[in-house]
Structure 1
Amino acid sequence: MARNKTFNRKNLTFLLVIVLVGTLSLMGRLAYLMIFKAEHYGIMAKEIHERERPIKAERGTIYDANGIELANNKPVCTISVIHSQIEEPEKVIEILAKELGLSTETVRKRVEKVSSIERIRSNVDKELADQIREYDLAGVMIDEDYKRYYPYETLASKVIGFTGSDNQGIIGLEVEYDKYLAGIDGTILTLTTARGVEIKNAAEDRVEPVAGNDLYLSLDVNIQKYAEQAAKKVYEAKQAKNVKLIALNPQNGEIYAMVNYPEFNLNDPFTLNTEINVTLSDSEKNNLLNNMWRNGCISDTYEPGSTFKIVTATAALEEKVVKLTDTFNCPGYKIVEDRKIRCHKTAGHGTETFVEGIQNSCNPVFMEVGARVGAENMYKNYKKLGLFQKTGIDVPGEANSITHKLENVKAVELATMSFGQGISITPLQLLVAASAVVNGGTRITPHFGVKIVSADGQYVKKLTYREKSNVITKETSDTMKMLLESVVAEGSGNKAYLPGFRIGGKTATSEKLPRRSNKYISSFIGFAPADDPQIMAIVLIDEPVGIYYGGTIAAPVIADLFSNVLPYMGIEEQYVGEDGATDNQ
């Protein structure tokens, strides 16, 4: 009996010890939470009783060179529902489905979803949002927002780009300068009950949004319009696949216009700009959309053909392997190793000087000139003119050139490259190289961005770009300007001639790969005034139907453009007197 009492006493003692230890542990834990974690749990409790809703920042405006708005913002609203605050779910479903043009099933899924807040639709016109607000539906939230709006719709669409539903840039300048344009969103903090119901008349904490900065461009709306009109005209007349046109200032790289015709509507960027008569899968439609958004002026490479003779002639003058008075013979072809490479004039040009060879765009002349320069020196000049690197333009998606490795360049490769075959570059790369040839020898960086200004008009940043001077000599540049002016005045580029203006340029007709497919790119590169270039432009007509020679169909496009743009830029006509001198009038 005594033994049992001793055993029970031990058990009781053990139990009391356990209870005491547990009590002390709980008290210690409670003290820890109350003393050391009080701030942490206070914040958590506050968060439970607060709901955060974003206030969208207004995106910065994009302006052209004249201060004309190219991209701005349209006030819109975002419609959301808070499940815990909805009092009449069926009424909410019915009204939102009707007013927003959504199916009842779609709205029901979101209304009945148990979550802190559920978005029904964004980018709702303010007028429609105000109509919904008048219903005074419990649990329906209407927040102010902004939608990107493009006043000119299709103008320079592949350059400007567009934004997504979150107002972030997707392509073009919108994505390149997103960090300046985006701004900083604000927030609204509202108090709620433990069940998540907002407390009416409770004070709100509000963090105001910061508007994005404005972007000013070198692109000129009027020059862009002239360029698009010229591109559209030849696109329709020649039933072309597409037309690309770039116009810039060859002295500093500021781009006045960049056309990829046909363009697309920036306010409706997910609608194809061509009619499709078949049902497309999502993958097929996405591929077509990506092609529609593609900026071919910077993303597509091509064999430039005879416009590349500008580079070959420049290299020859730089290496001093040719004089203007040198004579050549063109029987209509040239034998290089085991290849017979023809001239575009199959009957041949006969005996001609170097100047006449450029005016006639004679392939045998340039094959001979290329051989004199040699592969190593040719590549040295390609590099100086920037043909082995991207131009550095401030638009995403730029491609680089495709060339033979120097060790693989034999006589045939050198011959064909000398007149623009066997090397692929972008239109912009050629324009940058040609700019250095005519501006005195400075390789510029082509660009659109000029400056960043805050929403309240304060100067933020001047955008600067790299230049490399003396890539060729001024003597070579002056000679090339004279030669290219003679191409328009007396040679194959005569259809770019404008009475009263000094125009320089070069024609090209490039056969697309595979050879003998009868598909061509007709092009022309021109500049004015020839003695002091202020504008340089290139046009490419892809797969024209019928006559396809660059001198016949591409040169008039630049003439059409310059006839409008030169007077607009204040470039005065120059008249030739009887003594041959030019006088400014």
Structure 2
Amino acid sequence: MSERRPSNPRSVSDGSPSSRLSFMLISFLAIALIWVGRLVYLQVIKADELSSAAAASRTVSADISPRRGTIYDRNGNVLATSVDATTVYANPKEVVDRASTANAIADVLGGEASDYRDLLDQDTTFVYLMRKADVDVADALREKGLSGVYFIADTKRVYPYGKVAGQVLGFVNVDGQGVSGLELYYDDILKGTPGRLVEQRGGKGIPIPGGTEVDEPAKDGQDIVISIDIDMQSYLEKRLAEGVEQIGGDDGGAVLMDASTGDLLAIASTPYFDPAAPSESEVGSDSLKPVTQGYEPGSIFKTVSMTALLEAGAVTPDTTVFAPAGLAADEYVISDAHERGDMTMTARYVMQDSSNVGISLLVEDHLGFGPLYDKIVAYGLKGATGVDYPGEAGGYLAPNVETWPQILKYNVTFGQGIATTPLQMTRFYGALINDGVAVTPHLLLSKPQTGEVMTYETETIIENKAAIAPMVSMLETVVEEGTGRGAAIEGYVVAGKTGTAEYVDEDTGQYAKHSYNLDFVGVLPNASTPLVCFVGVNEVPYERNTTEVFKDIMTEAISRYRVVQSD
């Protein structure tokens, strides 16, 4: 019997019909798996990313400005607010005749047609034509029915009192962000949160009817009430500007404060600033210089030195000192502003006649320069006041008294060789009529929406209260019989001190010759409203004083606030 051999199996590649079918099936399955994998990748793994990209390709979005909070003065007058405006934009891809459209836009919005043509020639679907345009102007452009030109409801900042309190308020940029002043300092409170407007676009960027929607609504900012009395502010600014011109100075500053509360009722510096037209205002005019610029205060600082002497119990108003006509210090000679001979004077007369030599020797003989330095620090004249305004400057005085040259020791006693700010000096003088207590100067009073009323720190800076009455008495003599006679107000007791300070010429680096910074600080003792007022005029080419400007500002305040004094 012969043996049967098994037949050889066919390979898949032998070309038979069944082999070809198997190959096609495997290939189909491989392709299907690739497609399935691709679908999973696109629809699951990349779904969110692709969806966002697709939406972005057919939408245009723009911010919706929130309505910024209103700033009110202490009497409820609107100082800064937001009003309706319209932002105008275009989709250049929809503009049919760019030349005529640019001309039509320029006719209504102003500006050059060529500038608008440049915008319309851009390869994009969104360009701003004008942000925050007046509503009536935008409506006039809307009536032209220009293809590709669109309008968004918006708001813009307005300042009803123009330049008045412009430095205090500051201004905002086109995006509604605070740039200076209180608009900057309290930006987080005022600004609110922007919303978002989304517009659906079809082919070639053409808007889809009904496809515009608010993706996220804007949240309006909060209102604030500040301490400024806008009518008092207006008067102070007017009188200060007149005084700078009459005295012949380069610029000036003034402060009016309630010493018992720290409320800044009015504060300004020249030149003034227009928050509605910042680009048209002088460079630096947006800065409130009584807060932001240090200076050598001159003889108003003698009150600081005398208060330190009185606190130490080292002198009384009747203490005498022999004051030569000139006092040698290193290679210099100190003299008084008014020529005189050698004489013996009382501490009261030192203040009354503003003697540089007298105050220098009183400090040297009865207190010492180290203890004076300590009191300057205790009175808060080296640090900032903490006022709620951006860019406050602090005082400066070199430490390590033992290393001071003799000329600096003497100079500091009468306000040279030391830097303070007008606001620091105002705070110190205010403590003299507030039982030795200094209150943080401030502008913010309250936030109406939340009902929050602000409170501020107080500090007892004159610890020996027995020093206050004789110090105020000497300042009254300055006004009644001394260098401050021009500050006297009929029917009222005024206490204050004049100042004439040298300043450094920026060109030479030396003290300017025959030109001075002049100032006066005065208070109303025992008054129903304990007002303190500073007035300074800088770079005056001869010796005068600012007492008349002080007198007029304080007289206006007395009338406005119905101030009375007790005996």
Question: TM-score normalised to the size of structure 2?
Answer: 0.89
**1:561 equivalent among 550, 553, 565:** 553
TM-aligned CA deviation for residue 526 of structure 1: 0.4
Structure 1 counterpart of 2:530: 534
Structure 2 counterpart of 1:577: none
Matched, 1:60 2:69: yes
Matched, 1:508 2:510: no
Cα displacement string for residues 3-59 of structure 1 (whole angstroms, at most 9, x for unaligned residues): xx99998x9999997875454233123134334554554455444444323222111
TM-aligned CA deviation for residue 131 of structure 1: 0.9
**2:564 equivalent among 572, 575, 579:** 572
TM-aligned CA deviation for residue 451 of structure 1: 1.0
Structure 2 counterpart of 1:525: 521
**1:300 equivalent among 283, 293, 299:** 293
Matched, 1:33 2:42: yes
CA contact (8 A) 1:306 1:420 kept: yes
Structure 1 counterpart of 2:4: none
Matched, 1:441 2:450: no
Structure 2 counterpart of 1:152: 161
Matched, 1:366 2:375: no
TM-aligned CA deviation for residue 375 of structure 1: 2.4
Matched, 1:379 2:373: yes
Cα displacement string for residues 125-146 of structure 1 (whole angstroms, at most 9, x for unaligned residues): 2111111111222211111222
Moved more, 399-408 or 525-534: 525-534
Question: Superposed, which structure 2 residues align to 1:348-497 within 5 Å?
Answer: 348=341, 350-371=343-364, 372-406=366-400, 407-453=402-448, 458-497=449-488
Structure 1 counterpart of 2:8: none
Query: What amino acid maps onto 1:297 in structure 2?
Result: P
**1:499 equivalent among 487, 490, 495:** 490
TM-aligned CA deviation for residue 154 of structure 1: 1.2
Residues of 2 paired with 1:384 and 1:168: CA distance?
38
In structure 2, relative to structure 1, the CA distance for the partners of 1:14 and 1:334 (3 Å cut) is farther
Matched, 1:134 2:143: yes
Residues of 1 paired with 2:239 and 2:256: CA distance?
12
Question: Superposed, which structure 2 residues align to 1:194-343 within 5 Å?
Answer: 194-202=203-211, 204-205=213-214, 207-273=216-282, 289=283, 291-336=284-329, 339-343=332-336
Question: TM-score normalised to the size of structure 1?
Answer: 0.87
- Report the 3-state secondary structure (helix = DSSP H, G, I; strand = E; otherwise coil) of the residue aligned with 1:397: coil
Residues of 1 paired with 2:116 and 2:88: CA distance?
11
Residues of 1 paired with 2:374 and 2:81: CA distance?
46
Residues of 1 paired with 2:398 and 2:54: CA distance?
68
- Report the 3-state secondary structure (helix = DSSP H, G, I; strand = E; otherwise coil) of the residue aligned with 1:412: helix
Stretches of structure 2 lacking an aligned partner (at least 5 in a row): 1-10, 505-509
Q: Percent identity?
A: 27
TM-aligned CA deviation for residue 542 of structure 1: 1.1
TM-aligned CA deviation for residue 247 of structure 1: 0.9
In structure 2, relative to structure 1, the CA distance for the partners of 1:44 and 1:352 (3 Å cut) is same
CA RMSD of aligned residues (A): 2.7
Cα displacement string for residues 105-132 of structure 1 (whole angstroms, at most 9, x for unaligned residues): 2212211212231111113221111111
Residues of 1 paired with 2:209 and 2:123: CA distance?
21
In structure 2, relative to structure 1, the CA distance for the partners of 1:523 and 1:83 (3 Å cut) is same
In structure 2, relative to structure 1, the CA distance for the partners of 1:36 and 1:206 (3 Å cut) is closer
TM-aligned CA deviation for residue 367 of structure 1: 0.5
Query: What amino acid maps onto 2:394 in structure 1?
Result: N
CA contact (8 A) 1:507 1:523 kept: yes
**2:540 equivalent among 526, 536, 544:** 544
In structure 2, relative to structure 1, the CA distance for the partners of 1:335 and 1:104 (3 Å cut) is closer
TM-aligned CA deviation for residue 366 of structure 1: 0.6
TM-aligned CA deviation for residue 307 of structure 1: 0.2
Residues of 2 paired with 1:107 and 1:569: CA distance?
54
Residues of 2 paired with 1:100 and 1:361: CA distance?
61
Residues of 2 paired with 1:361 and 1:188: CA distance?
67
TM-aligned CA deviation for residue 171 of structure 1: 0.8
TM-aligned CA deviation for residue 316 of structure 1: 0.9
In structure 2, relative to structure 1, the CA distance for the partners of 1:516 and 1:172 (3 Å cut) is closer
- Report the 3-state secondary structure (helix = DSSP H, G, I; strand = E; otherwise coil) of the residue aligned with 1:307: helix
TM-aligned CA deviation for residue 69 of structure 1: 1.1
CA contact (8 A) 1:162 1:174 kept: yes
Residues of 2 paired with 1:8 and 1:492: CA distance?
124
Residues of 2 paired with 1:523 and 1:351: CA distance?
27
Moved more, 254-263 or 47-56: 47-56
TM-aligned CA deviation for residue 309 of structure 1: 0.5
- Report the 3-state secondary structure (helix = DSSP H, G, I; strand = E; otherwise coil) of the residue aligned with 1:568: helix
Moved more, 217-226 or 501-510: 217-226
Structure 2 counterpart of 1:277: none
CA contact (8 A) 2:382 2:395 kept: yes
Residues of 2 paired with 1:339 and 1:14: CA distance?
111
- Report the 3-state secondary structure (helix = DSSP H, G, I; strand = E; otherwise coil) of the residue aligned with 2:437: coil
Residues of 1 paired with 2:518 and 2:338: CA distance?
17
Residues of 1 paired with 2:70 and 2:54: CA distance?
41
TM-aligned CA deviation for residue 203 of structure 1: 6.6
Residues of 2 paired with 1:203 and 1:237: CA distance?
61
TM-aligned CA deviation for residue 339 of structure 1: 3.9
In structure 2, relative to structure 1, the CA distance for the partners of 1:423 and 1:27 (3 Å cut) is same
Structure 2 counterpart of 1:108: 117
Residues of 2 paired with 1:164 and 1:544: CA distance?
36
Stretches of structure 1 lacking an aligned partner (at least 5 in a row): 274-288, 575-581
Query: What amino acid maps onto 2:369 in structure 1?
Result: A
CA contact (8 A) 1:481 1:530 kept: no
Residues of 1 paired with 2:552 and 2:170: CA distance?
27
- Report the 3-state secondary structure (helix = DSSP H, G, I; strand = E; otherwise coil) of the residue aligned with 2:273: coil
Query: What amino acid maps onto 2:453 in structure 1?
Result: K
Query: What amino acid maps onto 2:446 in structure 1?
Result: K
TM-aligned CA deviation for residue 255 of structure 1: 0.5
- Report the 3-state secondary structure (helix = DSSP H, G, I; strand = E; otherwise coil) of the residue aligned with 1:119: strand
Residues of 2 paired with 1:228 and 1:205: CA distance?
45
